[in-house]
Structure 1
């Protein structure tokens, strides 16, 4: 794993040593994997508020994910992976996010970047990438921020060279491999490649000091003359140095965007579910009934407005979960049916599934913000204490739901509803 500089405070992996033996065997079923994710969430949830306030680089938490096997959840069994579908991956992200939104987000991004070759790689690159990541139990970060097209690529013989910077990256500081993305000089063609994180040409700014998702190491990074063999340019022909039409010029290549958008929605949902669970325990144990209402109750759990709010939050979260699971199944179906036959996926079908994903994004953004802010109304003034840590749930959801404006998802869905239009493939649809 990349070493966090001594000048940057980091959590100590030794605190999770016992779990390496406890989780030595990988789960072998959907239920087993989700049970493992819940165990990880329970471990993380025990001190999540304190770790959030300490704001240390999450070196130990990445080691915990490695011990759990969750980094291998989607990988082929022949290399030691769990070979689970994305539908299970999304549910596992959600479970981990209930305990710690930052680590749920890091797991989600890892699962996306570690399977990027499935979408934009050649068959040979898919196999080579899986073997490398799964057999080494690598954690993968990503310096991919498409709004800032500030990584330039030049071709030098049998290599390509990345230069530039990214204002945001995710998890790179604590990663083993980093996905780089840039534009090839003299073209408008983008190239993705996985590189070793621990090299002089990758220099992290260590400047992630935002209000939420504080343990995601999502700050800036400078890329200085990082060299990559042409054979590692995902989806490109290394001989002709051109993009493969059968890989990058078909609708299947556009699945990368709905796949990661659904990652986002699932950790929003998990964070909101975690907030409701955390608040519920606090209300039962600590919240006092209001004694000046004229219809006084002996305990907070008898208060009508408290019961009504919790019931309403629960109903909306349950509905959001059902929608998220349906979208996960729809996307899983595209991978199942078209990974071996990419040309068989039409743009229309891809777009219709993207609208399932957009629907989840809208709903989980709305309900996530509403629940994580609303739980304060049913826990009381003392729940605002930093010692309680209830604020982290809202801060986490508020931070990432600004990733791309949800208003555009609403507009996109409006055009689909009124005009039958599916979205064009972009960096955000």
Structure 2
């Protein structure tokens, strides 16, 4: 079932969200603990796995799939219980992202970016703004997109009375086409100061190009967007004083206000890891059912599952992915510890030291390196143990590699290796940047 949807008068193709309507009643209540949330994530993954190959090839906007995420409650997993959220720590959110990505890398990525953007005000906003936006997002079950791509020339911001006005263009945004709110970020005219703000997505000034047609992560709607005279009240400029129209140094104090960066880098690692785990599982089922033993090796076996090189390869991938999972989980707990210790009022946030922030960033960097290397190796290598027929488009095994390859180019992993080398040799923690 196909739906012709629109944003700002521009039509785009998506599946009809009604295909998942039955899950609204099936998942009428939220899970209560980590086990329950991960069970819910597995249920979502099971639904997505049924037609993941077909949906990847059709490359339609994920309007229906985001509706499924909404029905599941996963968008609320981190939100305060008083507003209807799950109030789980990031470590649980990361595992949920990973689980969804096992079935569909695009939806794992969309869930991960949403969880980051939906908690943006918790990190760079005032306590009042954080509460206000958590209430708005969780109570309305909003899906959040983001037009924040630091490598582009930033959006320009002008002050106009009690409002700020965004203008500019971003080559990449994530999930914006199917979002309720979009995070914008730019530089205030006449300064070098950056401002984050939420804007309603469905307005004439946010114009999506619908031009995302890359080799992987095809359902993430990560194409370009034009921002034309989008107005936001000064009171919604995260971390800024609306009276003085200046950044609040207590709210935006580094290092706490820079925690968005390691937090989202670990989002990346977890959907890379989920995609690799999904590839190994998908390939394993294919091998046991379809792969034939090689009859010209001199040590011939009757079944592919008796072939030494096939068993050895699968065993090696299994071991490396287990190690990657352990590292990702440990890094998630490090993120939990930082937020549980230092979230709250501005005085509490200010106690986070550069050394503590840097050490967490290096746990995350280690995870990024390992999940990138392992993810690329596994998703490409499974073809060696599935055989030539597994390259058929109807099998769809290629989508796992295409997804990992696409996003691991987000920022060069070589710089993470260098950063970790300085940490190992010189004891240096990294300076906060847009990618560290």
TM range (shorter): over 0.9
Could you tell me which of 7, 13, 34 is aligned with 2:11?
7
Query: Which residue number corresponds to residue 250 of structure 1?
Result: 254
Distance 1:396 1:229 in 2: 38
CA contact (8 A) 1:275 1:371 kept: yes
Query: Which residue number corresponds to residue 426 of structure 1?
Result: 433
Structural mapping, 1:204-283, within 5 Å: 204-283=208-287
Query: Which residue number corresponds to residue 159 of structure 2?
Result: 155
Structural mapping, 1:99-178, within 5 Å: 99-178=103-182
CA contact (8 A) 2:17 2:67 kept: yes
> Over residues 334-362 of structure 1, what are the superposed CA-to-partner deviations in whole Å (9 max), with x where a residue is unaligned?
00000021011001100010000000000
Query: Which residue number corresponds to residue 415 of structure 1?
Result: 422
Q: Determine helix, strand or coil for the equivalent of 1:39.
A: helix
Count of aligned positions: 429
Distance 2:254 2:292 in 1: 59
> Over residues 194-215 of structure 1, what are the superposed CA-to-partner deviations in whole Å (9 max), with x where a residue is unaligned?
0100000000000101000000
Per-residue deviation at 1:118? 0.7
Distance 1:348 1:271 in 2: 32
Query: Which residue number corresponds to residue 402 of structure 1?
Result: 409
Distance 1:6 1:43 in 2: 29
Distance 2:360 2:10 in 1: 46
1:347 aligns with 2:354: yes
Per-residue deviation at 1:149? 2.6
Distance 1:337 1:162 in 2: 35
Distance 2:160 2:307 in 1: 70
Per-residue deviation at 1:313? 0.3
Distance 2:148 2:385 in 1: 40
Q: 4+ residue runs of structure 1 moved beyond 3 angstroms?
A: 1-7
Distance 1:317 1:41 in 2: 19
> Over residues 10-67 of structure 1, what are the superposed CA-to-partner deviations in whole Å (9 max), with x where a residue is unaligned?
1111111111111011000000000100110111011101100000001000000000
> Over residues 58-93 of structure 1, what are the superposed CA-to-partner deviations in whole Å (9 max), with x where a residue is unaligned?
100000000000000000000000000000000000
Q: Determine helix, strand or coil for the equivalent of 1:248.
A: coil
Query: Which residue number corresponds to residue 388 of structure 1?
Result: 395
Q: Determine helix, strand or coil for the equivalent of 1:404.
A: coil
CA-based RMSD: 1.0
5+ unaligned residues in a row in structure 2: which ranges? none
Per-residue deviation at 1:3? 4.8
**TM-score, structure 1 normalization:** 0.99
Q: Determine helix, strand or coil for the equivalent of 1:335.
A: helix
Distance 2:151 2:248 in 1: 24
Query: Which residue number corresponds to residue 185 of structure 1?
Result: 189
CA contact (8 A) 1:2 1:175 kept: no
CA contact (8 A) 1:4 1:173 kept: no
Distance 2:7 2:350 in 1: 42
**TM-score, structure 2 normalization:** 0.97
Structural mapping, 1:282-297, within 5 Å: 282-297=286-301
